[in-house]
């Protein structure tokens, strides 16, 4: 075996290929997204410090005032400051973004994992459920459930969660099935690893990235949904400041006091853009791996 000893030291000295990854570049758009979200989080965390007025302070001497230095976003029909209300609404809307998606993301991921890994009859049943659920428009389904439970934020969370987890489960199921076909999954099986180890320690981390990216988008969708329900009077209830509620309050003044609806509307658009930009950045980051 002298040849081995001869070769071994030379081979051991093989220089490892230098790290090929370029320094992380997320791009300016991701940065913009992150800054936008941080701004909204600041508004949600310290509304009393940022907002110039209390959100529900009536001022009957100054009703329906257009934007001015004292009231940059104008005032509403009760003389409430629209800027302050929009800032306070960030708290509720971010809460909606998180509460409408957190449970579905976690529960859906868990269920999707099990279904994708197990396959067979459970998978067939799940696919039928998905087929049925996706034929009904999401908003209609949620409204139907809220109508049964009664309006309000909590019931809205319940309604959205009851439907939304299926989206996550469907997404992760496909990912798990794709990962399961790869050789490292087979290698884990041959290594004698338990099913739960293969599923949660090996497959899930590799299947998770699309979920994280979708979650960002879904939070933007949740804000839109929450505001829609707020506008319809099924979500947050007045006098709570919520962008949809603000726009709903403004519907009788659309032509006379445009500022009442435009500014909360812009807030929704900007928040949605923030989540989308950050989601795109995350997607890029995830795709590099």
For the chain, helix (H) and strand (E) counts, in that order, are 13, 0
Of residues 2 and 255, the one with the C-beta less far from another protein? 2
Among 8, 31, 45, 266, binds another protein (CB under 8 A): 8
Mask for 166-185, x = binds another protein (CB under 8 A): ----------------xxx-
Rounded (10°) CA dihedral 253, 259, 260, 264: 140
CB nearer to another protein: pick between 3 and 49: 3
Cis link prior to 239 (omega < 30° from 0)? yes
Stretch that binds another protein, among 16-24, 90-98, 233-241, 264-272 (CB under 8 A): 16-24
Per-residue x/- track, 250-289, another protein (CB under 8 A): ---------------------------------------x
Mapping DSSP onto H, E and C, the string for 52-87 reads CCCCCCCCCCCCCCCCCCCCCCCECCCCCEHHHHHH
Smallest distance from the beta carbon of 211 to another protein, in angstroms?
14
Residue 24 binds to another protein (criterion: CB under 8 A)? no
CA-to-CA distance for 112 and 101, rounded, in angstroms?
15
Q: Which of 127, 159, 193, 266 binds another protein (CB under 8 A)?
A: 193
Distance CA 106, CA 108 (A): 6
| CA-closest candidate to residue 173, choices 99, 233, 112, 232 | 112
Cβ–Cβ contacts within 10 Å for residue 63, how many?
Answer: 14
Binding test (CB under 8 A) with another protein, winner from 121, 137, 190, 255: 190
| Interface positions with another protein (CB under 8 A) | 1, 3-4, 7-8, 10-12, 14-20, 182-184, 186-194, 197, 201-202, 205-206, 289
């Amino acid at each position: 075996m002298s040849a081995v000893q001869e070769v071994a030291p030379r081979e051991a000295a093989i220089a490892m290929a230098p790290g090929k990854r370029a320094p992380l570049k997320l791009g300016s758009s991701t940065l913009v997204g992150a800054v936008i979200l941080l701004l909204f989080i600041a508004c949600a965390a310290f509304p009393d410090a940022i907002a110039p007025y209390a959100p529900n302070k009536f001022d009957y001497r100054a009703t329906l005032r257009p934007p001015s230095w004292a009231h940059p976003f104008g005032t509403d029909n009760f003389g409430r400051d629209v800027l302050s209300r929009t800032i306070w609404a960030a708290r509720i809307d971010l809460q909606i973004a998180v509460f409408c998606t957190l449970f579905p993301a976690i529960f859906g991921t868990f269920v999707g994992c099990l279904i994708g890994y197990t396959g067979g009859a459970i998978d067939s049943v799940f696919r039928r459920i998905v087929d049925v659920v996706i034929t009904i428009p999401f908003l209609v389904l949620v409204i139907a459930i809220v109508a049964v439970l009664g309006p309000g934020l909590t019931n809205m969370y319940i309604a959205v969660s009851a439907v939304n987890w299926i989206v996550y489960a469907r997404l992760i199921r496909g990912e798990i099935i794709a990962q399961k076909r790869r050789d490292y999954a087979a290698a884990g099986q041959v290594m004698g690893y338990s099913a739960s180890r293969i599923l949660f320690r090996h497959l899930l981390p590799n299947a998770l990235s699309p979920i994280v990216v979708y979650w960002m988008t879904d939070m933007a969708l949740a804000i839109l949904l929450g505001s829609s329900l707020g506008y319809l009077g099924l979500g947050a209830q007045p006098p709570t400041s919520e962008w949809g509620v603000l726009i709903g309050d403004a519907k009788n003044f659309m032509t006379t006091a445009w500022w009442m609806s435009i500014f909360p509307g812009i807030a929704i658009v900007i928040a949605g853009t923030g989540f989308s930009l950050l989601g795109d950045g995350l997607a890029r980051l995830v795709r590099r791996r």
